[in-house]
Amino acid sequence: MSARAAARAALATLLLAGGTAPAEEPPPLAVLGLRPTEDAAALEGTAIVRLSEAQQLRLVLESVLEALSGGRVLGHEALRASLGRAYLVALFDCRGAAACQLEVAGPLRALGVTTALTGDYAAGEAAFHVRLRRLDLVRERVAEELTFDLPVAEAGSLAPWRAALAPLFADTGSIRLVVNQPEAQCQLDGKPCRLSAEGELPDVAEGEHLLAVAKDGFKRAERVVAVRRGQQTRLAVALEELPVQAQKAPDPAARLPTFEKPTEEPQVKPFGSLRLAFLVDDVAAGEREDPFVPTGLRPGGSSLVVLPRPAVLGVGIQSPRRESGWQTRGALSLAWVKDAGPEIDSAYAEVLQEEQGLRFQLGWGPSIVSSLTAGTLTFPEAFGDLSFGAVGLTTSHAFGPVLAELFVGKHKAQFSPEPSPRADTPLPMGALHLAYVDKGRPGTLYGDEYPLTVGLSALLGQERVGTGDEPDWAAAQGLAPPRQEDVRVWVVSLEGFVPLGAATSLAGEAWIGDDVRLLEGAAWQPPRIDPASGHHRPLRSAGGWVQVASQVTEAVELRLVAGIDRALANLAWGRPVGDVAAIRDNRLAAASAIWKVGQLALGLQLHALRTSYAGSGPPPAVLLGLAATSQLVF
């Protein structure tokens, strides 16, 4: 049986068996030739005396090419028949010019040849310096070019040629990634990249791929990259900074969690702090940590107070970031501060989209009013440092370097398990916060990085008075029954943090408002009552604090803090509920040093408190004290 008849029989057998015909044979390839040159550096000048050597190397090249491609390679005789007997002369006369080489190989298209190889080489003492080109005869261009050195002793072997030619027939290419931010991370088709020191990602399969580049503080960038076989694709990516993010300022008491970068799995992380304070003062103020000097004390005595408070224990929960960029997180914590039992210190959940600068928070979390906290080692209370604990909805959105935040809700004291008829106000409180944030000027606040921030916040709401124990007290004093009424609560606060170099900073706030006791201002003094009518009038007060802090070393920080809380109006109107001494103003000056050893902070503070009372009350009282504290943060 002839070969043609055998092929027909085999094809018929396949068709009858339901099989398929063999795959079509790939188009033939051609090696035009290797031109020996005299100049190893420029591969110029034809060394015709080495023609025999060149033809021997060509035979090895044809064998390797046939093995790599799996197709048929036209030999010298087939090329002479197609291109003419003098085709080598014409090829060598091209002297490496690509356009000329394509013209010489052009007639091979009639034979179905789409790819041809040609090359030049120069012989050295130990190695041949070779340049090979793969010519695309359909598009009439140089598809790829390789340059490599081949040891003379191994030039007759297939292995070194095969290794050098593999990139021409591999189904992979490479990506050269250039990013405007150092230490950026990349993913290719959802898997981490393995970049070389030059930013090259080798052995990438031919075709289209999704490349993602990301870095903390910058928007994630995604690009579709088309990789061609044997070629390097260069990609330049410019990462854009994220908008200003709603973030809590560093807190020396560590009473709120610090969230890490989202991972692929949900994160559940406990947080909290334990504090032990030793307090000494010169007026024997008693077993308490008073924010002002009580009446009836005289200098000359002394006392040592040991307080294991506050203690905070909580858990932070964080979900993975969705493909849309949204992420969910939240926290729940308890605190042992002054009372015997614990109290809820935070309970909130939030969703945020960093690339859009959006955040929605529900519950009792970081306040947008007076967001900075003074770094005293004693309680930061009653000397102008406001603190607003509220439950509600907070919305945050960035407009360039400006962060706008809005809160609607109620004060935490208006949520109580104890029934108190008509004690709740009909309307919620509202607060607004505007802040300018310059991320280009970072500083250090309580050991953490924090940018230059200047903010203005305002709050407006109501407090219902005349409830609780007040009616019983008024009846015992023979006063008119207290009116259950809503007094206006408002405050305007200006706060700022300004880095003064890499280690030193200036921080503080100034405020004014009515019934600021709900924000721990006005020395917690409630609205005063008119004995004749039972009407109430809130105190107007103002205050603030300023702090200079310096991170002397990585472990040691120095702080100077001064503040004042002063009643401006209505202190002489009516009577104080409970007939307590009315405080005109309260002032604090403190100097402290903090030494951090891992998660443990040891502190020493010298401070002076001065409390002035209104009218014919007690004379101003001064307290000089020393505080030694240790705080473990986890």
pLDDT tens string 560-571: 999 999 999 999
Percentage of the residues of the chain whose pLDDT score is greater than 90: 36
Q: Which of 147-156, 271-280, 413-422 is least confident?
A: 413-422
If you search the block for the tokens 């308890």, which residue do you land on? 334
φ, ψ for residue 285, nearest 5 deg: -70, -10
pTM score of the predicted model: 0.68
> Which residue ranges does the chain devote to CATH 2.40.160.10?
267-633
- Average pLDDT of span 269-298: 77
Q: Which residues touch 344 (CB under 8 Å, ≥6 apart)?
A: 332, 333, 334, 335, 364
- Average pLDDT of span 168-176: 78
Q: Which residues touch 343 (CB under 8 Å, ≥6 apart)?
A: 334, 335, 336, 337
Tell me the fold of 267-633: Porin (2.40.160)
| Whether 476 contacts 583, CB under 8 Å | no
| Position 383 pLDDT exceeds 60 | yes
Q: How far is CA 128 from CA 17, 41, 446, 545, in A?
A: 54, 12, 65, 79
Task: Give the range with max mean pLDDT: 3-7, 172-176, 222-226, 578-582.
Answer: 222-226
pLDDT of residue 3: 38
Q: Which of 223-232, 268-277, 346-355 is least confident?
A: 223-232
Confidence of residue 8 (pLDDT cuts 50, 70, 90): very low
Confidence of residue 2 (pLDDT cuts 50, 70, 90): very low
Task: Please name the CATH architecture into which domain 173-237 falls.
Answer: Sandwich (2.60)
| Position 367 pLDDT exceeds 90 | no
pLDDT of residue 286: 57
C-alpha span between 62 and 74 (Å, rounded): 8
5 vs 73, more confident: 73
| Position 16 pLDDT exceeds 80 | no
pLDDT of residue 565: 95
Task: Show the tokens assigned to 571.
Answer: 């202190």
- Average pLDDT of span 360-386: 87
Task: Give the range with max mean pLDDT: 65-69, 107-111, 245-249, 421-425.
Answer: 107-111
- Average pLDDT of span 399-428: 78
> Which residue ranges does the chain devote to CATH 2.60.40.1120?
173-237
- Average pLDDT of span 312-337: 89
pLDDT tens string 37-51: 988 788 888 898 999
The average confidence (pLDDT) of the chain is 85
Q: Which residues touch 49 (CB under 8 Å, ≥6 apart)?
A: none
pLDDT tens string 211-244: 999 887 788 888 899 988 767 888 898 888 877 7
Strand 504-514 and strand 429-445: the pairing is unpaired
Confidence of residue 328 (pLDDT cuts 50, 70, 90): very high
> Which residue ranges does the chain devote to CATH 3.40.50.10070?
15-169
Q: Which residues touch 548 (CB under 8 Å, ≥6 apart)?
A: 504, 505, 506, 559, 560
pLDDT of residue 427: 83
382 vs 340, more confident: 382
C-alpha span between 284 and 294 (Å, rounded): 10
Confidence of residue 374 (pLDDT cuts 50, 70, 90): very high
C-alpha span between 241 and 211 (Å, rounded): 19
- Average pLDDT of span 465-485: 89
3-state secondary structure 266-295: CEEEEEEEEEEEEEEECCCCCCCCCCCCCC
Classify residue 138 by its DSSP letter: T
- Average pLDDT of span 589-616: 91
Task: Please name the CATH architecture into which domain 15-169 falls.
Answer: 3-Layer(aba) Sandwich (3.40)
Q: Which of 1-5, 80-84, 102-106, 252-256 is least confident?
A: 1-5
- Average pLDDT of span 100-104: 92
- Average pLDDT of span 140-153: 88
